[in-house]
Every structure is written in structure tokens, then in C-alpha cells.
Amino acid sequence: MQLDWLQSYNLITFEEIDSTNSEALRIANSGAVGDSVILSKIQTGGRGTKGRYWDSLAGNLHISILLQTEFDIKKNSQLPFLAANAVFETINYFSQQKGIKLNMKLKWPNDVLIDSKKVAGILLESISLKGKNYIVIGIGVNIEKAPDINKNATCIKDWGIEIPSLDTFLNILMGKFNTLYEQWKSDNNFTKTRKTWMKHAYNLNKVIVVDDGSNKISGVYKGIASDGAMLIQLASGQYCSIVTGELLFLEE
């Protein structure tokens, strides 16, 4: 099995930890140099977007990728889409090995779905210290079990796909992530990442309602902009860009 990605990242593993993202931020605060991957079999305080609790069950994947970057901080918002592409490709890799075709989609801004049920989530955090910019990409994938607290969740095993081990899944995922990340850095643009993500976008060109925290906006979902913002075409024909928000309704 190819482990080339380990030449570019420090791998730090735990049996149990509060949160891999929190540990990544602690490592950044220590002034660490280079990129790292933090993995824990169990998280006692895993978190998702908007501070929501992430139910971290044994047998599932919980990692955080810590990147020390010199890129414009405005480009940070592009990385969750790159990570989502890597997760998509990884699950697809294992499903193809089993000859199983999955109805897998990418839901803006940070979820991977199988048959409209969440199988993976991504959390981006960042910190700047002493002139250094650190990006943390938290990735949770339900491999063995779906959390009971979320009825709209699923796991890979539910679809008849047995993952040999967490290490196997991690190696494939990080190999794909590193390839996409190096390409993103060398191309210095979002075009390829965006094009790939849009191929699998959940309910593209359908009517949606988004709560941006202060307003509910409805329109036709037309994809994502160069900064990762959601593009909605309003009834007037004008386009609206939404940087953050929650999808409340999706017309099937």
C-alpha cells in the first residue's frame, strides 16, 4: 500500500482525546513547524459546524489535518471542498472494489451524503501566530456506525462495504487528499476543485431555502463561487451569494 503521504505529514495518533481539531490547534499554538495529521479512535468532545456536537463512535474515522500555509487567508474557504472531494473519492474507491454503486452527493458547505443521509462532515478552523498561518481541516467519516442522535445519518457499512481497517481508509484518504492539495497549491486556483465538487453537488439546479442567520432566502441553487460561497438565482433572475447558512429545505 502506498504511504507516500507520510513523507509530507507527521502522524499523531490517540486512543481517546477531547477533539482532534482542538489538539491540532494546541499543536499550532506550540509553534510547530510542518503539516500533521491527528487521529483518534474516540473523541469525547468532537464538534461539527456551528459548535454542534459530533458523536464520535469507535470504528469511525476522526482526523484533523493541520496545515502550515503561506497562502492568502481568503483562500482557506476553498479547502473544505477539496477535502470533500478526497472523502468522496475514497468512499467511491472502496465501493467500486465491492462492485457497489452508491448514490453519493456533496452537500454545501461541508457534508458528504449517501442517499440523502450524512456519512461524513468537515470542519475548517484557522489560527495565525507569530506570522504563521495554520489551517485545521477536521474530517469525520461514519465507517462502522451511524450516530443514533441523527436519524438522517448513515455509515459506509450500512451499504454492504466492509473497510479492512481504519489505517487502510486513512491511507487511501490522505493519499487522495495530498494529491489534490498539491495540485491546488501548484495551480494556485480553485477551478479544478470547484468543477469536481460541482459534478456531485446535492440538488444542484433545484429550489432551496437557506437560513443565513438573519434571513431565509429561497431560489434555485446554481453552484458555488470562486470563494466557496453558494450561488442562488432569485425569482427576479438576480444572483445571490451566501457565505454561510443552513439548508432548511431541498426540493427532491
Write down the pLDDT at residue 1.
Answer: 45
pLDDT above 60 for 250: no
Write down the pLDDT at residue 197.
Answer: 96
Regarding whether 228 and 128 lie in a shared domain, the answer is: no
Write down the pLDDT at residue 51.
Answer: 56
- Total count of domains within the chain: 2
Regarding whether 213 and 90 lie in a shared domain, the answer is: no
Regarding whether 215 and 156 lie in a shared domain, the answer is: no
- pLDDT, one tens digit per residue, over 219-241 is 999 999 988 899 999 999 999 88
Write down the pLDDT at residue 88.
Answer: 98
Write down the pLDDT at residue 158.
Answer: 95
- pLDDT, one tens digit per residue, over 154-173 is 999 999 999 999 999 999 99
- Which bin fits 213, alpha (ψ -120 to 50), beta or left (φ > 0)? left
CATH code of the domain covering residue 133: 3.30.930.10
pLDDT above 50 for 252: no
Residues 6+ apart with CB under 8 A from 196: 85
Q: Report the alpha-carbon distance of residue 188 to residue 215 in Å, rounded.
A: 34
Regarding whether 135 and 115 lie in a shared domain, the answer is: yes
CATH code of the domain covering residue 229: 2.30.30.100
pLDDT above 90 for 249: no
Regarding whether 245 and 182 lie in a shared domain, the answer is: no
Regarding whether 144 and 100 lie in a shared domain, the answer is: yes
Computed over every residue of the chain, the mean pLDDT equals 89
pLDDT above 60 for 251: no
Domain extent, residue 228, equals 207-250
What pTM did the predictor assign? Answer: 0.92
Regarding whether 158 and 219 lie in a shared domain, the answer is: no
Regarding whether 238 and 145 lie in a shared domain, the answer is: no
57 within 8 A of 30, measured Cβ to Cβ: no
Regarding whether 172 and 230 lie in a shared domain, the answer is: no
Regarding whether 217 and 105 lie in a shared domain, the answer is: no
Write down the pLDDT at residue 16.
Answer: 93
Regarding whether 211 and 181 lie in a shared domain, the answer is: no
Regarding whether 238 and 175 lie in a shared domain, the answer is: no
